[in-house]
Amino acid sequence: MLQVSHTQQAPPALVEPLTARECEVLLLLAQGCTNPEIAALLCIAVSTVKVHIRNVYAKLHARNRIEAINAAYRLHLIHHPT
């Protein structure tokens, strides 16, 4: 039977912090933007967006957008709108 753990662990600190641009990309990911939309909003190439996303995934130990966004919330890198 599965049980819920009632102990809370502090979120691990990032070994390498996100750059300002990676934070912008992460925020746009959390808002549901596609790669072409992010590229247009930031005036960069889609290939550059993909590089930033790959870097975000690596730094947050994420395999996809959902994991990256969840990690960002857990690490207080982004916040739910109030």
Whether residue 59 is predicted with pLDDT greater than 90 in this model: the reply is yes
Whole-model pTM: value is: 0.81
Neighbours of 13 (CB within 10 A): 7
The string of DSSP codes covering 16-52 is SPPPHHHHHHHHHHHTT--HHHHHHHHT--HHHHHHH
pLDDT band at 3 (very low <50, low <70, confident <90, very high): very low
User: Is the Cβ–Cβ distance between 66 and 56 less than 8 Å?
Assistant: no
Give the pLDDT score at 4: 35
For residues 82 and 79, what is the distance between their CA atoms, to the nearest angstrom?
9
Could you give the maximum distance between any two Cα atoms of the chain, in Å? 51
Give the pLDDT score at 78: 87
Name the 3-class secondary structure at 72.
Answer: helix
Give the pLDDT score at 70: 95
In a domain, 68, yes or no: yes
CATH number of the domain that 59 lies in? Answer: 1.10.10.10
In a domain, 8, yes or no: no
pLDDT band at 5 (very low <50, low <70, confident <90, very high): very low
